[in-house]
């Protein structure tokens, strides 16, 4: 039994046996990357820890959806995935810093992760910019990536639903931007570029906030996760995240995974779960409703609903994510996945032929 399997057993207890059939082992060969119906669905509840500005795409600061004929603030999955991608990248960066020799020496002698796969602090040209992807690290392998440098693409096996608030409350605040030089409320809309063409707007702006304590229900699905991928995903999903506007000092969400289901297909939708739990302001109550919903949706073929309780969360909190053995398994699994993809696509063979 590998270290990540042992740790999963510590985290999930006896339920680990139920989940085990939905874990996948990559062996570096084409057949191990061919899609098989193995998925692990994870439901979570997130609580706004402060006033949350959900400034994503769209015209306004807040994205709204309709559930049970009410309009509720919504965090789209693309936003959530970007947050988890960044977090996973930060973790991989720490792992690389601590175990660079081992990772390079054994698995990826040709990859300098720090230079070729980064969107982390200090290396980006501008805030939020991505320099590129190495196409080999555990982050790219699980979350998906494309690069012009490689002849293969990596499909994302980390997907999910939007997270819906269980309350319709949000505040709109109106503000006035005062120009520092003229003390008028005229402001420029887009920095220097627009200043040149002289485009000006009035200084009134509005921002929408979700009040602290608001609960959201969301769901993540992992397709064909390897044991270390499930372990690290559970860990990531039990951390507080910053889902607000990036420059904002606000926007912290406490995330609590509540249930996990292994099955051939993903189970249920966050939309329906939040419809059932709408109006709940208490985390324990919301959790109960979500669990009940997931139980009613789970297929009989699957693992059944594995509840994530305080004990499980305690084990996740104790997990040493920089442990040499675990890091080795995570990066090794990524290497075997990439080798499998290369074998499947056949690009490895062409390269070998050219070389000989």
Of all residues in the shown chain, the one whose CB is closest to Zn ion is 117
Q: Phi, psi (5° rounding) for residue 126?
A: -140, 165
Which stretches of the chain bind Zn ion, using CB under 5 A? 117, 133-134, 137, 140
Write out the E strands in the chain: 39-48, 64-67, 70-75, 158-160, 163-165, 171-176, 186-188, 200-202, 204-209, 215-223, 241-242, 252-263, 305-307
Name the token pair of 295: 């139980």
In the complex, what is the shortest distance from the CB of residue 28 to Zn ion, in angstroms, rounded to a whole number? 18
**In the complex, what is the shortest distance from the CB of residue 23 to Zn ion, in angstroms, rounded to a whole number?**
22
Of 85 and 137, the one with the shorter C-beta distance to Zn ion is 137
Nearer to Zn ion, 120 or 347 (CB): 120
Which CB, 110 or 180, lies closer to Zn ion?
110
What's the CA angle centered on 341, arms 335 and 347, to 5 degrees? 110
By beta-carbon proximity to Zn ion, the closer residue of 51 and 335 is 335
Q: How many residues does the chain have?
A: 356
Q: Rounded to the nearest whole angstrom, what is the least distance from the CB of residue 278 to Zn ion in the complex?
A: 39
Min CB(32)–Zn ion separation in Å:
20
Cβ-based nearer residue to Zn ion, 170 or 331:
331
Q: Give the residue with the Cβ less far from Zn ion, 42 or 154.
A: 154
Burial class, 297, CB count within 10 angstroms (exposed 0-12 / middle 13-18 / buried 19+): middle
Contact 255, 44 (CB under 8 A): yes
**Least distance in angstroms from the C-beta of 39 to Zn ion:** 23
Please, what is the minimum distance in Å from the beta carbon of residue 89 to Zn ion? 8
């Amino acid at each position: 039994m590998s270290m990540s399997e042992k740790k999963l057993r510590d985290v999930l207890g006896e339920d680990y046996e139920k989940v085990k059939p939905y874990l996948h082992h990559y062996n570096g060969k084409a057949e191990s990357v061919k899609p098989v119906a193995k998925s692990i669905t994870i439901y979570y509840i997130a609580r706004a820890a402060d006033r949350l500005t959900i400034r994503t795409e769209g015209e306004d600061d807040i994205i709204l959806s309709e559930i049970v004929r009410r309009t509720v603030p919504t965090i789209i999955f693309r936003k959530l995935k970007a947050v988890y991608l960044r977090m996973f990248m930060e973790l991989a960066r720490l792992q690389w810093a601590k175990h660079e020799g081992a990772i390079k020496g054994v698995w990826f002698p040709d990859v300098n992760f720090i230079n070729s796969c980064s969107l982390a602090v200090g290396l980006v040209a501008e805030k939020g910019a991505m320099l590129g992807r190495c196409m080999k690290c555990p982050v790219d392998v699980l979350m998906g990536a494309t690069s012009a440098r490689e002849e293969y693409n990596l499909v994302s096996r980390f997907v999910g639903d939007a997270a819906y608030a269980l309350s319709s409350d949000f505040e709109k605040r109106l503000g006035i931007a005062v120009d520092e030089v003229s003390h008028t409320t005229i402001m420029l809309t887009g920095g220097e570029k627009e200043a040149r063409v002289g485009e000006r707007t009035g200084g009134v702006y509005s921002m929408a906030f979700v009040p602290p304590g608001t609960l959201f229900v969301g769901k993540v699905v992992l397709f064909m996760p390897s044991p270390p991928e499930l372990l690290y995903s559970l860990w990531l999903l039990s951390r507080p995240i910053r889902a607000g506007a990036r420059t904002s000092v606000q926007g912290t969400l406490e995330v609590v995974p509540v249930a996990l289901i292994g099955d051939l297909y993903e189970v249920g939708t966050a939309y329906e779960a939040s419809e059932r739990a709408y109006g709940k302001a208490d985390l324990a109550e919301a959790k109960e409703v979500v669990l009940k919903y997931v139980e009613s949706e789970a297929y009989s073929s699957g693992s059944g609903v594995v509840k994530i309780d305080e004990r499980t969360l305690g084990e996740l909190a104790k997990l040493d994510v920089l442990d040499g053995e675990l890091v080795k398994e995570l990066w090794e699994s990524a290497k075997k996945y990439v080798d499998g993809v290369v074998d499947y696509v056949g690009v490895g063979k062409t390269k070998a032929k050219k070389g000989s």
